[in-house]
A and B are shown apart, each in its own frame.
Chain A
Amino acid sequence: MLSHEFMRNALLAGGFVALACGVCGWFVVLRGQVFAGDALSHVAFPGALAAAAAGVDERIGLFAATVAVGAGIGLLGARTVAARAGAAGAAGADDTAIGIAFTFILGLGLFFLTLFSLGSAGGSGIQAAHTLFGSIFGIGAGEARLAAAIGLAVVLLVLAIGRPLLFATLAPDVAAARGVPTRLLGVGFLALLGVVAAEATQAVGALLLLGLLAAPAAAAHRITSRPLAGVALAGCLAVASMVVGLVLAYSLPWLPPSTAVIAVAVAIYVVSTVRR
């Protein structure tokens, strides 16, 4: 199996993307921002299509869209949270704004899809399918190394801001009083999440990113409440889902790799909920 180059590339890129998803996902679940992560993964789709319609590299559109929207949600959320001074329902009100905004962006995606298919006659269906569901077995060696490097960089960055981020998440008021820049941290974290979303889009697809973000992290939160162990466990579970999923997809030709990866991640989560 490892003698095939596409399999080695997929494991390299997928492993590091999964690691970044797992580590970021632990904080996403803790901060109650799963819906924001979901919105970011949907935004990747119009971003890539807009770039395709404009004729530039797809990845530029991906990263620009997800990072911009991530920072935007962070700014919007920071303002509502500040305005409500810790009201319990603040996150819910954000959800409505996020929902409306990303529906509009998906509408734009549909617009670009039409524009793209009008311009270049066909091929748009396959293009959309690749953006939506990923094409991990089609990654080249250079792309795989780039994905691994970005994944590693994101993990290191998140770990670097991990302590203040944890403080700002669990006790925002106390952290702000102690001089932790909570707002900057919130925006920065979502921008990082944008980078992860853009990177993961190429590996598992825009629509399936959510599974890698939510399921391993949710399982880790179920199993342990200790922060360091939780982050490590979430990363390991995500990598494990990716590797097992890819091997499954390799040995069963009818099983698409994205489906296999998510199936393993969800199975781990379900086992963790039954355990207790």
Chain B
Amino acid sequence: MQPESVNPTLGWNLARDLGEVLEYHFMVNALLAGSVVAVMAGAVGWLMVLRREAFAGHTLSIMSFPGAAAAALVGIAAAWGYFAFCGAGAVAIALLSGRGRGSVREQGAAIGTVQATALALGFLFVSLYGGVLGDLESLLFGNILAISDGQVIGLGVVALVVLAALAVVARPLLFASVDPDVASADGVRVGALSVAFLLILGASVAATSQITGPLLVFALLVAPAATAQVLTARPALSLALTVGFGLLIVWLGMGIAYFSVYPAGFYVATIAFGLYLLARLAVALRARLARAGARRVRAAVVGAG
């Protein structure tokens, strides 16, 4: 894909190359942060794909753009802006789609409106900040290679809180996600759970945005979970696969990016997409093989009946 002069240091000895990568402190930090985010985004994204809230997740990830811009404008650390705006976005989505309950259309329109508001605000803040447009790219696409020790620790804390919160609500949430009507009849508070999940989603998206940037969060949030859910319907197995895929995507993407001039976000998104396509292809092939067998069985059953 690129000219050969791009990766002069990549040799045949993979162990030596790996050692070289790990000699740099910024690469160690990037890999640590990426791994933490991959595990957290995988677990949250798995429930998000199950609940079919991809659009809401995307909108929350966009929220971190005005968040970062507002933080820059006020002069505080970007992380505060991320968490404040993602939390506000989660509440706004819950409120607006709660009003139009029962109508998927209304919900989509409400989420879209929230997202447009976020983008408009973000652009306003960037232009008020003084139009340093060079920063726009890193605001939108993140900068994984510039992560400090403090950020790694902060990410770890957020991931622990998010995973703990998820563990507390996991069982009723799974019930409410798979069959909301039965769960609600059984006394599960479906409405409160969906607000809680949106807040968890907001927090993990805010953390992930710092690594991949708001526009590419989906590569870690949706793709591993969707790939795993294409492959298997068993909850525990597909959750484990999700986390595995997430780690694989992050490590491969960063490893390749180290030896190349193109940014890590591009490789992460491409690998995530490639994995999903491979899974779809494998399942389609298997279904085609199985269909021939099933037809034969059905013919036999009909013949016997």
Contacts and interface: CB of A to CB of B under 8 A. Distances in A.
- Summarize B's interface: helix, strand, loop or mixed: helix
A221 B106 contact: yes
B148 interface: no
9 contacts: A29-B108, A103-B215, A110-B215, A126-B133, A207-B119, A215-B112, A218-B106, A256-B127, A259-B120
Interface residues of A, number: 63
A114 B262 contact: yes
Interface string A97-125: 11111111011101101110010000011
B282 interface: no
Interface stretch (B77-85, B202-210, B269-277): B269-277
Given A95-B52, A211-B113, A259-B124, A114 B266 contact: yes
B143 to A, nearest CB: 12
Interface in B203-223: 215-216, 218-219, 222-223
Contact of B265 (A107, A118, A124): A107
A100 B276 contact: yes
B108 A266 contact: no
Interface stretch (A32-40, A65-73, A139-147, A175-183): A32-40
Q: Please classify the interface of chain A as helix (H, G, I), strand (E, B), loop, or mixed, using the class held by over half of its residues.
A: helix
Nearest to B125: A259
Interface of B: 49, 52, 54-55, 57-58, 96, 99, 104-106, 108-113, 115-117, 119-121, 123-124, 127-128, 133-134, 136-137, 140-141, 215-216, 218-219, 222-223, 226, 261-263, 265-270, 272-273, 276
B109 A218 contact: yes
Nearest to A254: B128
Contacts of B140: 132
A205 B110 CA distance: 20
Given A92-B52, A103-B222, A258-B120, A34 B266 contact: no
B120 A38 contact: no
B113 A38 contact: no
Contact of B109 (A42, A98, A128, A217): A217
Given A35-B55, A101-B273, A258 B123 contact: yes
Contacts of B52: 89, 92-93, 95-96
A44 to B, nearest CB: 13
User: Which of A110, A124, A218 has the most CB atoms of chain B within a 10 A radius of its CB?
Assistant: A110
A115 B260 CA distance: 12
Contacts of A95: 52, 54-55
Contacts of A31: 105
Contacts of B265: 107, 110
A103 B216 contact: yes
Given A32-B104, A96-B52, A256-B123, A214 B269 contact: no
B112 A213 contact: yes
